[in-house]
């Protein structure tokens, strides 16, 4: 937890670590902090990195199935053909989790000694060329769904049996370049630069086995956002702000259609958001929220997330530690958000809009774009533009225009 501290005079700066007297030491500390941030982000995205291989393998599986179907003898069953290509059955449309108490569904295999079993042994885990020769081993996965939200559900289901896997909750990214049009107005923070490093770490994990035959599950999630004045040597490169956002929520699959869209997931829960500071720098609030996730065959998806702030008593005096530190939070952070996304696996776009319904309420818009780096199958280039209020808790009443460039481990979908 970060505690507020009074501004230091010039004589105090640099004495904590000798950074001003030893510029090389400052660079080393920057690199260490960056390594820690990347390590945490990679750990949070490790489970998703395995799950995203489903999309990459889908084309190979489809080709294998088509070739096996073309070469199949009369009377060959669909199960035998699927077994040859090592394909596991997908989830039913009204499921968000596997049905076998958290374990990923097993690949169907024919009985021993049968011709189909011999074929499965010979071809499982390999890609067949047009001539039927085995050309390369692959990591098998379940079939990929026909919409972005459905694909994510199926990819996450692969990981339910992994004890130490963390599922992605929101995008995990790192922006070494993050620039604001005007200097942040953080009160009492001293000289603040417009260029800083911004990163987000977000993960979730199930608190229960799949419920109601995989139709529902209870989750814990955590999202941390950081604004790091890494290039501000005048102030020994402090973390200007860090936002903690734990959530507990239940999610279930309605299995319905709404105006031609597939209602994939509904969720509801509690979220706390705080910057972990005290006094004049304290920012926190508690909310109850509901969320609806919709998609349709193709790249488009929609998320609608309204929330209600849990009321707090007014402060008896301005200096009192009791009571509401931020009574105007909802006016600036809004009463909910809507996200509209386009995710074709290569060029991904997401538009997020927040708005307050209060008199004189404010809002914000954010546009995200990502595409593969070509360096690693699990890294994407990421560009983000934000315009509005409540980008960070410390400056929630100030309008911020920010553009960030960097890397992303996972997108929304």
Which residues are catalytic, by number? 272, 274
Query: How far from chain centre, in Å, is Cα 255?
Result: 23
User: E strands, 310-362, where?
Assistant: 336-343, 348-355
DSSP 232: -
If DSSP codes are grouped into helix, strand and coil, which group holds residue 48? helix
Backbone φ/ψ region at 47: left (φ over 0), alpha (ψ -120 to 50), beta: alpha
Q: 251-259: which pairs have CB atoms within 8 A and are 24 or more residues apart?
A: 251/96, 251/216, 251/217, 251/219, 252/96, 252/212, 252/215, 252/216, 252/217, 253/93, 253/94, 253/95, 253/96, 253/153, 253/215, 253/216, 254/94, 255/93, 255/94, 255/215, 258/294
Count CB atoms within 10 A of the CB of residue 189. Answer: 18
Distance separating alpha carbons of residues 173 and 386, to the nearest angstrom: 15
Distance separating alpha carbons of residues 412 and 248, to the nearest angstrom: 19
Distance separating alpha carbons of residues 43 and 38, to the nearest angstrom: 8
């Amino acid at each position: 937890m970060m505690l507020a501290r009074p501004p230091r005079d010039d004589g105090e700066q640099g004495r904590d670590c000798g950074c001003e007297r030893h510029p090389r030491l400052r660079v080393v500390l920057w690199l260490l902090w960056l390594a820690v941030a990347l390590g945490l982000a990679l750990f949070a995205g490790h489970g998703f990195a395995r799950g995203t291989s489903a999309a990459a393998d889908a084309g190979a599986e489809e080709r294998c199935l088509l070739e096996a179907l073309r070469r199949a003898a009369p009377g060959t069953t669909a199960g035998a053909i699927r077994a040859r290509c090592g394909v596991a059955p997908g989830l039913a449309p009204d499921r968000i989790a596997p049905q076998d108490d958290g374990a990923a569904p097993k690949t169907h295999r024919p009985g021993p000694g049968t011709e189909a079993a011999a074929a499965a042994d010979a071809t499982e885990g390999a890609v067949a060329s047009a001539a039927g020769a085995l050309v390369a081993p692959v990591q098998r996965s379940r079939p990929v769904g026909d919409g972005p939200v459905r694909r994510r559900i199926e990819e996450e289901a692969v990981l339910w049996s992994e004890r130490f896997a963390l599922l992605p909750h929101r995008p995990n990214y790192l922006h070494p370049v993050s620039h604001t049009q005007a200097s942040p107005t953080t009160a009492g923070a001293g000289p603040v630069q417009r260029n800083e490093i911004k990163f987000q770490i977000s993960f979730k994990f199930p608190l229960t086995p799949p419920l109601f035959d995989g139709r529902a599950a209870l989750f814990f999630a955590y999202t941390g956002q950081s604004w790091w004045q890494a290039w501000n040597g005048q102030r020994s490169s402090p973390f200007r702000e860090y936002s903690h956002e734990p959530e507990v929520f239940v999610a279930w699959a309605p299995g319905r259609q709404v105006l031609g869209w597939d209602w994939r997931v509904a969720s509801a829960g509690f979220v706390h958001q705080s910057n972990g500071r005290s006094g004049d720098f304290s920012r926190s609030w508690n909310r109850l929220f509901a969320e609806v996730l919709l998609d349709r065959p193709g790249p488009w998806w929609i998320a609608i997330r309204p929330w209600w702030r849990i009321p707090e008593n007014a402060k008896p005096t301005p200096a009192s530690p009791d009571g509401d530190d931020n009574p105007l939070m909802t006016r600036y952070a809004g009463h909910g958000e809507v996200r509209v996304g386009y995710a074709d696996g290569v060029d991904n776009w997401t538009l997020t809009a927040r708005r307050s319904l209060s008199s004189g309420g404010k809002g914000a818009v954010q546009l995200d774009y990502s595409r593969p780096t070509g360096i690693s199958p699990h890294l994407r280039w990421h560009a983000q533009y934000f315009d509005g209020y409540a980008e960070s808790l410390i400056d929630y009443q100030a309008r911020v225009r920010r553009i960030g460039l960097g890397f992303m481990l996972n997108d929304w979908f």
